[in-house]
A and B are shown apart, each in its own frame.
Chain A
Amino acid sequence: MEPLIHLTGPAAPIVRDNINTDLIAPMFTPRTAGQPRGMTMTRGDLARMLFAGWRYDKQDREISDFILNREPFRQARFLIGGVNFGCGSSRDTAPKMLSAFGIRCVIAPSYGAIFYDNCFKSGMLPMIMNEAAVKELAREAEGGGDFSLDLAAQKITAPGGTILNFDVPAFRREQLLVGADDIELTLRRNAEILEYQKRERAMRPWTFLR
């Protein structure tokens, strides 16, 4: 996974509550509704599908006034959202599509729990900010100037000069900073896992099916 240490670029403010993963990562574009889907998606496919229901008209032409279709937000690196961002399904195409588009940090007051975890798995930072701060950052984002993230310092600088600190669990922060391969890290503890299974099997044998 690609490490996330610094990030610089415009932030697209889409400050609505309850932006769900069906909106972020829809099953279809408007034109391809109901058609069979392929199993593999390239990074380009992923980037194109992001917010497809909002970005495209019925013929899949870009709707020019949607923010991600406008400069400089086509180069957005941040997205500013509302309460309960990423609620809904567990599809991890939601963070993957954001990331493929170039957005590697979402700023919102709260998140759907599964989306929140999936972000870290996809090398993305779901930053939690209170509603007042989100409002201020969204105001400063309107002009399209660059935001700048310093993950190690847990600090974000907005184009209007506002500098804010944020909290992120240390465990998750370290994963992002080094681009950790979590499977490899866990497999280093395989002896503990096997020991747990042995203990559990003795106590509650029905847990294991053979």
Chain B
Amino acid sequence: MPGQTLFEKIWSRHVVADYGDGFALMHIDRLIVPDLSSRALSALRERGLPLHNPELVFGCADHAISTDPGSNDPHSLNNPFVANLREQSKHFGMTMFEPREFGAGIMHVIAPELGITLPGLTLCCSDSHSCTNGALGALSWGIGAGELTHILATQTSVQKKPKTMHIRLDGKLPPGTQGKDIILHLIGQIGVAAGNGYAVEYAGEVIDDLPMEGRFTLCNMSVEFGARFGIIAPDDMAFDYLAGRPYAPKGELWEAATKDWSSLASDSDAVFDNEVVVDFSGLAPQITWGNTPEAVLPVDGRIPDPSSEHDSARRSAMEAALAYMDLKPGETIEGTPIDWVFIGSCTNSRISDLRAAAAVVKGRKVAKNVRAWAVPGSQSVKREAEAEGLDAIFKEAGFEWREAGCSMCLGANGDIVPSGRRSVSTSNRNFVGRQGPGSRTHLASPVVAAASACAGKIADPRKMV
């Protein structure tokens, strides 16, 4: 019998009942309810059902809250989504992290940060970027609000077992490149639908060298190429990250847990349904030009020409994207004037992201034509950044230093890029209208975003040293 993949090991641990045909009733070890999905709790209450395991469920005010600096505006903090989450959390006896208080922040930032995410666990949130947590060796995936109610009531979810894909990332990253550049380049290489139906395991030299927060960024965007799960085998770096976190096991339990977690790796003779190898040794900072994350190029590259695309459907999609983005084929993307910069989101709002951006911003000014925001991913990231003086660097340069939340990644709280305006954003989606109707989004790393904010146009951070 061949060995097992990491994914299969964690999957098989969680099967409560096998339904055949690939379907299984899976135990869900942790569940996070974001504000926008609080109606799932209301639905449970309306049915008169109890919460199956309140201690395993956490409420998180992130999408709907205001990130207005210092604002305690009752409307923004007590908007209907947050108020309902609070009311239902109280009713069901589950923990909710209040805005601006301990534990508050974007769910995929706080879950690892608080040790809610642990290797080998299953974790669901009604948010597609739940795959972020896979960086710690957890099986974590996004569900809809309807399925959320099912898990609240039963602590289980019926899932079809996906196929497995192994992605080996070879090479040594050049200086100035980050987790964001890795994932954008990868999606550009394999396409936005390559991961459909798969659980992806990332491995290789790039992963071994990548700091924990870069791993979160990488796993975060797995869903942007269709993979509902992205996972990295937990190693000493993951254990060191988790040690002492509030919800992580302590003492003897920690010893037992790390012993168990050390077995969570794909066996050397494990067979994957698909294997991909990509070399990253020549990687340049990346930026997207179109309306899917695969429409990406090196920041010193030229905007592609649809006339060289033979497939007519792809050609017309490219033409539509260039028209929406108001870009001309053949021109360099570097130097394109911009209006907005957003540094934040579950992809790139952790302390190392803010440090990297601040290092570029320090001693510079945000260009007059640009409005720039830095939005920490959590209250704890915000405090850490302020203790290091990063907030002062951003503010001195002309950035707005905001409160923690999802903010301008999707504008659910009203933080939007105005129609027709061009934004360089460290978030994860450059879809038509994603940052607000008519907004034009270029996805990039925090250093590219910071360099562009100061230059007033899309800029190559390597030229700003």
Contacts and interface: CB of A to CB of B under 8 A. Distances in A.
Interface of A: 16-18, 20, 22-23, 26-30, 33-40, 53, 58, 82-84, 87-92, 95, 110-114, 117-118, 121-122, 169-171, 182-183, 186-187, 189-190, 192-193, 196-197, 200, 204-210
Interface of A, secondary structure class, is loop
A22 B432 contact: yes
A170 to B, nearest CB: 6
A10 B431 CA distance: 28
Nearest to A115: B144
A166 to B, nearest CB: 16
Given A28-B437, A169-B21, A183 B49 contact: yes
Contacts of B19: 171
B197 interface: yes
Given A183-B153, A207-B121, A209-B56, A27 B410 contact: yes
Given A17-B313, A34-B411, A112-B226, A196 B256 contact: no
Contact of A27 (B21, B47, B411): B411
Interface of B: 13, 16-17, 19-23, 25, 27, 29, 38-39, 47, 49, 52-53, 55-56, 64, 75, 79-81, 84, 118, 120-121, 126-128, 130, 141-147, 149-150, 153-156, 158, 160, 162, 192-193, 196-197, 223, 226, 228, 247, 249, 253-254, 256-257, 260, 292, 313-314, 317, 410-412, 414-416, 419, 429, 431-434, 436-438
A113 B196 contact: yes
A32 B206 CA distance: 44
Contacts of B431: 20, 22-23, 88
Nearest 4 pairs between A and B by C-beta?
A92-B144, A118-B144, A206-B249, A121-B146
B127 to A, nearest CB: 6
A90 B21 contact: no
Contact of A26 (B13, B128, B155, B437): B437
A39 B437 contact: no
B221 to A, nearest CB: 12
B165 to A, nearest CB: 13
B150 A183 contact: yes
A55 to B, nearest CB: 12
Contacts of A111: 196
14 contacts: A23-B432, A34-B416, A35-B414, A39-B38, A89-B128, A118-B147, A183-B154, A186-B150, A189-B16, A192-B17, A192-B25, A205-B253, A205-B256, A208-B55
Given A90-B143, A206-B257, A84 B49 contact: no
B416 A187 contact: no
Given A182-B150, A187-B153, A197-B27, A110 B16 contact: no
B344 to A, nearest CB: 17
Contacts of B64: 37
A86 B281 CA distance: 34
Contacts of B155: 193, 197
Given A23-B432, A34-B414, A34-B436, A193 B16 contact: yes
A186 B21 contact: no
A94 to B, nearest CB: 8
A193 B156 contact: yes
Given A33-B416, A88-B431, A114-B142, A18 B25 contact: no
A113 B256 CA distance: 35
B437 A30 contact: yes
A134 B66 CA distance: 43
B149 A53 contact: no
A92 B247 CA distance: 30
Nearest to B76: A36
Contact of A90 (B142, B150, B153): B142
Contacts of A16: 313, 317
B55 A118 contact: no
B138 to A, nearest CB: 11
A204 B433 contact: no
Contacts of A205: 253, 256
A192 B173 CA distance: 48
A88 B145 contact: no
Contact of A113 (B145, B197, B434): B197
Contacts of A82: 313
B432 A36 contact: no
A169 B245 CA distance: 42
Contacts of A197: 27, 53, 155
Nearest to B16: A196
B197 to A, nearest CB: 7
A144 B150 CA distance: 38
A2 to B, nearest CB: 14
A186 B152 CA distance: 12
Contacts of B27: 193, 196-197, 200
Nearest to A83: B193
B84 A39 contact: yes
A58 B419 CA distance: 10
B226 A87 contact: yes
Given A26-B437, A82-B313, A90-B128, A18 B292 contact: yes
B449 to A, nearest CB: 21
